[in-house]
Amino acid sequence: MSGKLRRLVCNRPSLRLLAKAPLTHTTGLISACFYSARVVYLEKERAVAIEAVERASRVCEAVFKRLVTDETLTKKDKSPVTVADFSAQAVVNSILEKYFPNDPIVGEEDSKDLLGEEGRVLREKVVELTNTAVNTPMTTEEVLQAIDRGQYAGGSTGRHWTLDPIDGTKGFLRGEQFAVCLALIIDGKVRLGVVGCPNLPYDMSQPEGEKGVLAVAVEEQGAFQRKLNVKDSLETPIFVSIVEDSCNASFCESVEAGHANHGDSAKIAELLGITKQSVRMDSQCKYIAVARGDADIYLRLPVDSKYVEKIWDHAAGNIIIQEAGGQVSDVNGEPLDFSQGRTLSANKGVIAANASIFDTVVEAVKATLSNKF
């Protein structure tokens, strides 16, 4: 970065920390300078999305403290995560409806399991927990209506939001990594992404240190992190790693074997010369780990030819990686296409990595999966 640009950054109080960024990330710095100097694109949407994700994250944490017990885990009872899913979706959707009443939402849940006498106990828990995170108490009907605002079909025109109220359900139940993920899609392209990670260390070099990260990115404005649910938390820029040789890289992989083919991952690692131990965690927290350089490569390899990824599982993480200086594609090297509706039907799997090694990773994946999908 030139001295002139560094002085420009240092003269803007909100951007002083950018001056410490690696020289390879000058583009992100320039974007951040413009971010500070103009009327900001999607400024209101960004602020509202952060509020929505923070409130939903608080709901999830409240559910875990109240409902998840050793007995729950022993019996593999998923009812707490069901309560959290519904409650978080109700909170986010109600906030989006307040500020953007004409924006449709592609959400993961609907209210059918909460209806009638069969759904009464679950419904009452959802309403109770939802009301711990909203300013004005919501009636049962209002909660159900908010949940059902997430039934939009998606598509290639106009604007809509996509929400995963809890990504990483098993991680949530274990008290490990899960995420609340919200993204804004305009004309088929992700323009804004926010991911709340309540259990992710703010600094991975101190895994037992302070936890709770919110990552946010807007198109052409860079990627940032802040402390989750900390009032007036300072946003700091995040960047992918600067590893230039794949043999020095590390994977960020799923804990759950059903979410990826670890055998194929091992073959890819061999082709890339990777010997470092993988960072394993659930949810879109993996995208955040790569976006801030905790790991270098994230692979979501197809487990069979029929499986299709959902847009809410990748939209927010996709833009955060890109704005942090990385690249994202499917296993064939094609960009993820969020214009197809509720799924990534035009794609198979996901590859994310820093730009220096991305092409090498794609070639290794292609060689390993040749003729499989």
Question: Which residues have a catalytic role annotated?
Answer: 85, 169
Q: What share of the chain is helix, strand, coil (3-state, %, to 5)?
A: 45, 20, 40
* Token code pair at residue 33: 């300078």
Angle at 219 between CA 317 and CA 133, to 5 degrees: 55
Assess contact for 350 and 333: CB atoms under 8 A: no
Distance CA 206, CA 323 (A): 25
Q: Which residues, other chains included, contact 77 with Cβ-Cβ below 8 Å and sequence gap of 6+?
A: 71
Task: Report CA-CA distances (Å) from 177 to 84, 194, 237.
Answer: 14, 16, 22
**Which 8-state DSSP code applies to residue 154?**
-
Residue 67's Cβ-count burial label (10 Å; 0-12, 13-18, 19+) is: middle
How would you class 39 by CB atoms within 10 Å of its CB: exposed for 0-12, middle for 13-18, buried for 19 or more?
A: exposed
Tell me which long-range contacts 332-335 makes (C-beta under 8 A, separation of at least 24): 332/366, 333/359, 333/362, 333/366
Q: Are 254 and 280 a contacting pair, CB within 8 Å?
A: yes
Which residue matches tokens 């499917």?
A: 330
Residue 305 backbone phi and psi in degrees, to 5:
-75, -15
- The upper half-sphere exposure of residue 51, i.e. CA atoms within 13 Å in the direction of its Cβ, equals 14
Element (H, E) at 322: helix 315-323
Decide: 105 and 149 in contact? Cβ < 8 Å.
yes
Record the tokens describing residue 285, joined without a space.
Answer: 């927290």
